[in-house]
Structure 1
């Protein structure tokens, strides 16, 4: 990034790129047959659902999510007198009416500020037919990335029983993408599970349609190890499990897109698990053979350069996708990274590790990264960047559409909010996802050139 003057600093965040921590209700909704119960002000739950799951790729409500999740809709009365009675009634009614395997109570700002003893209320339902956990997720505690980790640890501590027996060799718990916030989480997690199973592992994927739901969560302590597949999200969960159960964890910061990263992930996990590498190598060989056949078909278009393809790119996304996309575009396509902005406001202690991962993108390419969450400043940075004589391709959000139009740049929406995409099972991860991503990138470029 090149600019002669410092970027203007404001006291507010313009065009936010994440909701508050109670949006982790969507992490609960991502567990099959789990239902969130929100103890918060009227409208809070509806806004989190609409922002995270509707205007963000129109993902839908799932089994237990949506705008009609049980909520106390706390009012002035609950502020003055407390809301525990209302919460107790709501949990009891939910147990009676709703068919679920797990309920998780999430608190908003009002009960967290007035000091409602939610833990005491939830303990009253310990013997209920459907288990109930609770998580304190008032908005001042952080964003939905923070809330996601709070919720996961709450379920583990309150619902998952300790395991004193031997661990199952080759069983792995995966902690990776943030459900719903990442529009492609369903397809990506399915592909991650496929890759790991192809390598000979048994996988607790924990979220999405390929998870066994609560039964899978109960097996968490039986796993040989935990896999954290992101620059930082899930690390706190894995460390918590290490302290609680003694489970080791493997941290792989790079979400794999394409053949190179996928093979590196598989080999790292197989080595960590101590598995026979032969089945994994056979799987890699079969996947790469098919992958490169498709790429061979693609090379005619790519080599001819008919459409004046962009040589430089900018990624404005959460840390997981920003790192993964940059690595794929540099190493697979040979594009030049001009600007990389991480937008998920990762905790300060994780930022040096993220910077180091970007610095090691390729043997001869080190990519500086900017941490910024305010769209006004992000757009200032894009406008101040020298992209050369040709408009770059932007990987960002709906907030960048007008910016891209003014720059005559093609744009691919890859993270929250993604309003102009409808996503069901699409994946950009792994071997299959990389081919889909290539189709999306160059279809966008060709369309913009028409």
Structure 2
């Protein structure tokens, strides 16, 4: 969509940085052997796939995504007469043709606007004990972050069901990164599960290759607590689970990158759960020793400054990675924050909490953060930022590549869309991911300087 030059008066968004609510179909097929069924206009599902899982790390669609996703592809006829019968036939056919443990019916703008009773159609199949749920995810409900929590709540309410039994000590449900939208979610969730298991937890990671699929979701209700590891995404789900199952939750806004943050994170979770601290400390000590041995090797390069390394940086991206990367760059590398811009449009009720994290980003460092979705406005802010006399480094997206050249700086793509990254299992978080991030940063700088 073309933007006007008067950013303050324009309601348009240039170079969008998220999908619409039905884009949360990615959250459905991020669960092993779960397939979404989209009740929407022709092309809606395909466009979401192209944007979120293809031109964003070329991640692929997995077992139940991309071209596998059934769609009603409704037209003018369904707008006038309704599309319930078309949806009913599609669900019936999907059960016959596709092998899935659970189907998630998701709606687009048209059926939500004309008033199709999707719940009534789906209940016909639920009454036959068939594994299917539905979520109303028309685009006017919000972006794919909002859609994600609509999908998770639908699965919990309609499939996981009620529970009045005991909670299992040491079992934790993890609510963190948005599948597929966060380019590195698969590797990141793998690392989160690894380190939590390392200190003694049993982990329901819920999404990705480390999840057991629907059996793990059925196990949600037995967990001792829910861990929300993000600035805001997952809080609504955790609050719902607290009411539904009486489960407490622990909210840690900063996803840990590097030894200092990761060890601190693990100790907080261990303290909250009351599990064996000795086992946890043994794991932490082992991981820290490895981490700092590698960092010592890296320090020879870092200390020389042969390549005119940048001193100031900007981060442009969703709140989870923005906060995590900013904190790591300041605390681990001593870089100076010049501009931080969050692009995922967090609900207003969470924004003060997010701002507070930046006010206490390090012991002696405080910085501001801005919320902006429009790339025209974002790039205008970056052009006006004082990066000093050294080349800046921008942690952003494909939309910032030309701007980085214009500013004679460096670009590291860390979020949607990342069209110059091919991502399979890469992670930038935890102990191991931090080392990968360091490699990425300074390989980018050295190769650009050659």
Q: TM-score range by the shorter chain?
A: over 0.9
TM-score (norm 2): 0.98
Alpha-carbon separation, structure 1, partners of 2:259 and 2:408: 31
What SS class does the counterpart of residue 206 from structure 1 fall into?
A: coil
Deviation at 1:448, TM superposition (A): 1.1
Aligned to 2:268: 268
Aligned to 1:23: 23
Alpha-carbon separation, structure 2, partners of 1:160 and 1:276: 30
Aligned to 1:143: 143
What SS class does the counterpart of residue 106 from structure 1 fall into?
A: strand
What SS class does the counterpart of residue 309 from structure 1 fall into?
A: coil
Listed one character per residue, the Cα deviations across residues 62-82 of structure 1 (whole Å, up to 9, x for unaligned) are 100003410000100100000
Alpha-carbon separation, structure 1, partners of 2:19 and 2:136: 16
Q: Is the 8 A contact 2:259 2:291 kept in 1?
A: yes
Q: Is the 8 A contact 2:38 2:107 kept in 1?
A: yes
Alpha-carbon separation, structure 2, partners of 1:73 and 1:192: 38
Aligned to 2:104: 104
User: Which range moved further: 334-343 or 67-76?
Assistant: 67-76
Alpha-carbon separation, structure 2, partners of 1:291 and 1:313: 24
Listed one character per residue, the Cα deviations across residues 355-396 of structure 1 (whole Å, up to 9, x for unaligned) are 001111101101100000000000000000011111210000
Listed one character per residue, the Cα deviations across residues 189-229 of structure 1 (whole Å, up to 9, x for unaligned) are 00000010001000000000000000000000100000000
Structure 2 vs 1, CA of residues 130 and 435 (structure 1 numbering), >3 Å: closer, same or farther?
farther
Alpha-carbon separation, structure 1, partners of 2:115 and 2:161: 28
Aligned to 1:236: 236
What SS class does the counterpart of residue 411 from structure 1 fall into?
A: strand
Listed one character per residue, the Cα deviations across residues 22-67 of structure 1 (whole Å, up to 9, x for unaligned) are 0000000100000000000000000000100000110001100003
Q: Is the 8 A contact 1:101 1:130 kept in 2?
A: no
| Unaligned ranges ≥5, structure 1 | 1-5
Aligned to 1:166: 166
Aligned to 2:287: 287
Q: Is the 8 A contact 2:7 2:376 kept in 1?
A: no
- Would you say 1:382 and 2:375 are equivalent positions? no
Q: Is the 8 A contact 1:100 1:130 kept in 2?
A: no
Note the aligned Cα RMSD (angstroms).
1.0
Aligned to 2:404: 404
Listed one character per residue, the Cα deviations across residues 77-101 of structure 1 (whole Å, up to 9, x for unaligned) are 1000000000000000001110000
Deviation at 1:10, TM superposition (A): 2.2
Deviation at 1:176, TM superposition (A): 0.2
Q: Is the 8 A contact 1:50 1:67 kept in 2?
A: no
- Would you say 1:49 and 2:42 are equivalent positions? no
